[in-house]
Amino acid sequence: MSTINGDANIPFYKELGNQGVSAEDIPVVAFSVGEEELSGIDTKPLVGHLAAWNYFMSVDTTKNAAFIKQWHEFIKNPKRVTNDPMEAHYIGFNMWVKAVEKAGTTDPDAVQKAIIGVEAPNLTGGISKMLPNHHITKPVLIGEIQEDGQFLTVWQTNKLVPGDAWSDYLPESKPIIADWTPPIMCGNFNTETKKCSGQNY
């Protein structure tokens, strides 16, 4: 299990390859390595290692193919990859547009109220929804690194998973919820003390 984040993945995976550590020896499951991080390194020694994301560039849907085509035309480089953060932005921006249309204004407070319940297509073939906690529903995918730096999806959830701001598995955060609807209107609400913490009012 790797919790290495962002650019730090590059030297980590390079060193795995340098040391001859294969997925058969010690399979690594990462939560923050994607196509962009792998695009600059030789991935042949990394084949079989895994990553968990909500999107992979290799997902075979009409919407994803259209998105990749538009991206390549815009960037004028057909070798550039797409990744999970890009898909998250795609969904989020489309939700924001719908919320602005619903609110009739770009005023942040009005948009914040309007965005709850808004739905927008994701690139894996489903429709994501903004929840009262300001997280969205998305599929969860586990992908296996391929020689070309892409991922082969080897497992995915049967349905979209609701995003949760706080873990139910940690005692400290189990009673904490995020709910941006009245009367709570808080991202850090303790259901036991009935108080919103970490914010200045």
Is it the case that residue 198 has pLDDT exceeding 80? no
Q: What is the mean pLDDT of residues 182-201?
A: 86
Q: What is the mean pLDDT of residues 61-88?
A: 97
Q: What is the pLDDT of residues 14-28, one digit of tens each?
A: 888 889 888 999 999
CATH 3.40.50 domain locations along the chain: 6-163
Looking at residue 69, its pLDDT comes to 98
Q: What is the mean pLDDT of residues 135-162?
A: 97
Higher pLDDT, 130 or 4: 130
Helix and strand totals (H; E) in the chain: 5, 11
Overall fold of domain 6-163: Rossmann fold (3.40.50)
d(CA 136, CA 122): 11
**pLDDT band of 201, cuts 50, 70, 90:** very low
Percent of the chain whose pLDDT exceeds 90: 77
Looking at residue 33, its pLDDT comes to 87
Q: Which residues pair with 35 in a beta bridge?
A: none
Number of CB atoms found within 10 A of residue 200's CB: 3
